[in-house]
Amino acid sequence: MDVEAIKRLEREARRVEAAGDNHAYVLGLKRPFTRADVRKRYFFLARLFHPDRSFQVTRFCRIFDRVKTSYHHLLSTHKQKPVAARTNSHHGPRD
């Protein structure tokens, strides 16, 4: 791995570790985003932090688990509409 790749890996690892419960931030997504955006970021991060590819096994296993959890959470709560287009209400607009 070259120096720039290691710096990027460490930067992504710190971002995921600092994300808290914000699933979009774990994956590095900004609203609005689509299911395709979620998949693209998940596969990128999975390549970086998969336990079979990592040299910091314990740390990267935790990161990979967070990435995987966020991916599944966002896909289960996110249908085909962009996230910003969804409302918090289950009811339509009131007349």
Residues 23-58: pLDDT tens digits? 999 999 998 899 999 999 999 999 989 888 767 778
Q: Are 78 and 35 in contact (CB under 8 A)?
A: yes
How does the average pLDDT of the chain come out, rounded? 82
Q: Determine what percent of the chain is predicted with pLDDT higher than 90.
A: 48
State residue 84's pLDDT score: 56
Question: What's the whole-model pTM score?
Answer: 0.74
